Amino acid sequence: MNLKTKDEGLQTVTFDWRKVAKDLLISRALDDLEEYDLVKQKKVLYQFSARGHDLAQIMLGQVMKGKKDAVSGYYRSRPLLLSLGIAVEQFLQATMMRRGGFSDGRDIGVVFNEPRHNGVCVLPMSGGVGAQYTPVAGWAQAIDFHYKYLKDSDWEDAAGLVLGGDGSVATNGFWSALTMATTLSLPMIFYIEDNGYGISVPSSFQTPGGNIVKNLESFKGIKLLSGDGTNPQEAADLISQANDHVRHNRSPVLLRLTVPRLNGHSAQDTQSYKSAERLIFEKQHDPLPKLQKFLNQKGIVTTGDWEQMAKDAKAYCDQVYQQVDKQPNADPRDVHRYVFEEKDANGSPILQKQGGIHLSQDKFPLSSEQVVPAPGRINMVTAIRKTLDYELTHNKKMLVFGEDVGAKGGVHAVTLGLQDKHGNARVFDTSLSEEGIIGRSLGMSLAGLLPVPEIQFRKYADPAEEQLNDTGSMRWRTGNRFAAPMVVRMAGGYFGCGDPWHSQCAEVKWVHAIGWQVVVPSNAEDAVGLLRYALRDNNPTIFFEHRKMLDHIWARRPYPGDQYVIPFGVGKKILTGDRLTVVSWGGMVHMCQQAIEKTAIQAELIDLRTLQPWDKDMVLESVKKTGRCLIVHEDNISAGFGAEIAAYLAKEAFFYLDAPVERLATADIGNPHDPLLMEHALPNSTNIAEKMMELDQI
Ligand SMILES: Cc1ncc(C[n+]2csc(CCOP(=O)(O)OP(=O)(O)O)c2C)c(N)n1
Q: Are 58 and 23 in contact (CB under 8 A)?
A: yes
What residues contact residue 15 under an 8 Å CB cut-off, 6+ apart?
2, 3, 5, 59, 62, 236
Kindly give the distance from the C-alpha atom of residue 641 to the centroid of ligand 1, in angstroms, as a whole number.
Answer: 34
Spatial distance between the Cα atoms of 500 and 459, rounded to a whole number of angstroms = 8
Q: Are 9 and 19 in contact (CB under 8 A)?
A: no
Report residues of the chain scoring pLDDT below 50: 1-11
Spatial distance between the Cα atoms of 659 and 653, rounded to a whole number of angstroms = 11
What residues contact residue 246 under an 8 Å CB cut-off, 6+ apart?
159, 187, 188, 189, 252, 253
Spatial distance between the Cα atoms of 509 and 507, rounded to a whole number of angstroms = 5
Spatial distance between the Cα atoms of 591 and 584, rounded to a whole number of angstroms = 9
Written out in words, the top-level CATH class of the domain with range 20-329 is alpha beta
CATH assignment, 380-551: 3.40.50.970
What was the pLDDT predicted at 3?
39
Per-domain residue ranges of the chain: 20-329, 380-551, 573-697
| Domain 380-551 and domain 573-697 have a common topology | yes
Radius of gyration of the chain (CA): 28
Whether the CB of 469 sits within 6 Å of ligand 1: no
Ligand 1 nearest atom to the CA of residue 168, by list position: 15
According to DSSP, residue 340 is labeled S
What was the pLDDT predicted at 6?
41
Whether the CB of 168 sits within 6 Å of ligand 1: yes
Whether the CB of 577 sits within 6 Å of ligand 1: no
What was the pLDDT predicted at 588?
98
Spatial distance between the Cα atoms of 115 and 354, rounded to a whole number of angstroms = 6
Kindly give the distance from the C-alpha atom of residue 173 to the centroid of ligand 1, in angstroms, as a whole number.
Answer: 13
Kindly give the distance from the C-alpha atom of residue 216 to the centroid of ligand 1, in angstroms, as a whole number.
Answer: 21
What was the pLDDT predicted at 13?
77
User: Residue 171's closest CA among 507, 439, 529?
Assistant: 439
Whether the CB of 197 sits within 6 Å of ligand 1: yes
Spatial distance between the Cα atoms of 582 and 139, rounded to a whole number of angstroms = 45
What was the pLDDT predicted at 469?
98
CATH number 3.40.50.920 given to 573-697: yes
Ligand 1 nearest atom to the CA of residue 76, by list position: 21
Give catalytic residues, as residue numbers. Answer: 502
